[in-house]
Amino acid sequence: MANGLDDVVAAETVLSDVDGLGGHLTIRGHSLTELAGRWDYAQVVRLLLDGFFDDLPGDAELAEGIGEARSDVFARLQPLLPSLAALDVYSGMRAGMAFLPDGETLTDALRLIAAPAVLTPALLTLKRGGRPAAPDSRADHAADMLRMLNGKAAPPDLAKALDTYLVTVCDHGLNASTFATRVVASTQSGLTSCVLAGLGALKGPLHGGAPGPVIEMLDAIAAHGDAAGWLRDEIEHGDRIMGFGHRIYRVRDPRADVLKAVVRKLGGEGETGQRLALAETVEQTALDVLRVAKPSRSLQTNVEFYTALVLEAAGFPSQTFSNVFAAGRVAGWIAHAREQQTTGRLIRPQSRYVGPVPDLVA
């Protein structure tokens, strides 16, 4: 039996390939480094959805469609926002998305892609006592998300940083949330049901909930003053060092390098530059400490470590990092759902019963 389904191939896909030994991520024939910072999110959405919708338009038209979908989602869900804001921001986002039509059309898909970018800023604004800003359907997706979040137009470099992040996390093999999405898709359920399954899996701290604690770790180390001592104490107490180690990668996560470069571009002498300097010191110290403490395991920097710095610089509170992760990954979930529905079959693995056996009466 494969514990945790390690090494079990559960799907054939054209969408992405994770090379854990070589440290490479391929998305529909393109390396991550070819896409991140060069293709915008709408272009990558089109790349992922190509072949799964007959009416998929070109890049410019699709970007307009995502913008129109943001306005549509806001209009549909605006009356519910005060009630959703009573929940934590992730639960409120997920609950709001459950009210979207559970269809199979491109329009349904674009609403789901737009929803996290609309609901996250709206719910944060309400929690802060403000009035949510309506989307600008003509704006770029990442830039509009930041405008709704911060109440003003985002600097171009910050909008570019967030856009690059969304591209970087758009798809990543058969991870837990994508597998959950494909399981639901295999029942021929609608796209909203599939995405809600992905959202449920993404919330866990071993998956999309991981970046937030990186900020807590950096703050704790800054206050403590001794990175090596703090990290050793955590390991001795059996705690995980967030931002290090990955289920698939046995070398450095290629997404970490992409996002580190993003933070460098945003850095300088200000707060982001100071945070980066601290993070680089902690990163190297953590790698050294982990090498000694766990010599049998290859625990390298993963995507969550520099994700935390990018999203903090963009103005997102750490408790909403999973929301922004979802805003990028939702396109991948939808592509996997459509691929499963069109080429796969009902996912129904077997289990092995290991419980007590009843006495059988002759």
Specify if 5 maps to a domain: no
pLDDT tier, 2 (very low <50, low <70, confident <90, very high otherwise): low
Q: Considering the domain boundaries, does residue 218 fall inside one?
A: yes
Domain co-membership, 159 together with 215: no
Is 280 designated active site? Answer: no
DSSP one-letter code for 14? S
pLDDT number for residue 212: 84
If asked whether residues 165 and 246 sit together in one domain, one would say no
Give dist(CA 242, CA 214) in Å, integer.
6
Mean pLDDT confidence for 277-305: 94
Give me the mean pLDDT over the 22-30 stretch: 95
pLDDT at 218: 96
Q: Cβ distance 179 to 333 under 8 Å?
A: no
Model pLDDT, residue 157: 96
pLDDT at 84: 98
87 and 228 share one domain: no
In a domain, 86, yes or no: yes
- Rounded-to-integer distance, Cα 110 and Cα 173, Å: 21
8 pLDDT above the threshold of 90: no
Please state, in angstroms and rounded to a whole number, the distance separating the CA atoms of residues 43 and 56: 12
Query: Residues 192, 227: one domain?
Result: no
Query: Between 361 and 2, where is the model more confident?
Result: 361
Query: In sequence order, what are the residues at sequence separation of 6 or more whose Cβ sits closer than 8 angstroms to the Cβ of residue 263?
Result: 161, 272, 275, 276, 279, 306, 309, 310, 313
What pLDDT, on a 0 to 100 scale, did the predictor assign at position 148? Answer: 98
- pLDDT at position 3 over 80: no
SS3 26: strand
pLDDT tens for each residue of 180-218: 999 999 999 999 999 999 999 999 888 887 778 999 999
* Torsion 156-157-161-164 (CA) sign: positive
Same domain, 196 and 230: no
pLDDT at 270: 84
The mean per-residue pLDDT over the stretch 286-311 comes to: 94
Contact by Cβ (8 Å): 300, 244:
yes
What's the pLDDT at 362? 61
Domain that holds residue 281: 211-314
Whether residue 201 is contained in a domain is answered as: yes
Same domain (yes/no): 201, 274: no
Helix, strand, or coil here: 97? helix
Specify whether 299 is located in the same domain as 323. no
Q: What is the mean pLDDT of residues 324-344?
A: 95
The answer as to whether 173 is a domain residue is: yes
Q: Is residue 95 part of a domain?
A: yes
User: What pLDDT, on a 0 to 100 scale, did the predictor assign at position 1?
Assistant: 54
C-alpha 71/C-alpha 82 separation (Å) is 18
Other CB atoms closer than 10 Å to residue 63's CB: what's the count? 21
Residue whose C-alpha is closest to residue 41's, from 192, 145, 136, 177: 145
Give the residue-averaged pLDDT of 348-352.
91
- pLDDT, residue 224, reads 95
User: What CATH number is given to the structural domain containing 273?
Assistant: 1.10.230.10
Task: Give residue 170's pLDDT.
Answer: 98
Q: Side-chain half-sphere of 214: how many Cα atoms within 13 Å? A: 33
Instruction: Report pLDDT digits (tens) over 168-181.
Output: 999 999 999 999 99
Same domain, 201 and 223: no
CATH number where 130 lies: 1.10.580.10
Domain count, the chain: 2
Tell me the average pLDDT across 332-348.
94
Pair (264, 308) in one structural domain = yes
CA separation for the pair 202, 82 (Å, rounded)? 24
The answer to whether residues 215 and 189 belong to one domain is: no
Q: Please pick, among 246, 283, 312, 339, the residue that the annotation labels catalytic.
A: 246
Tell me the pLDDT of the chain averaged across its residues.
Answer: 94
pLDDT over 70 at 94, yes or no: yes
62 three-state secondary structure: helix
User: How far is the C-alpha of 186 from the C-alpha of 197, rounded, in Å?
Assistant: 12
What's the half-sphere exposure (Cβ side, CA atoms, 13 Å) at 275?
A: 25
User: Does 191 map to a domain?
Assistant: yes
* Residue 246: active-site member: yes
Residues 253-262 have pLDDT tens digits of 999 999 999 9
Percent of the chain with pLDDT over 70: 99
What's the pLDDT at 64? 98
Residue 78 has pLDDT above 80, yes or no: yes
Does 57 map to a domain?
A: yes
Q: Are 38 and 24 within one domain?
A: yes
Catalytic residue among 104, 234, 283, 304: 304
**E strand or H helix at 124, and its extent?**
helix 106-127
Residue 239 shares a structural domain with residue 278 = yes
Indicate if the pLDDT at residue 358 is higher than 70. yes
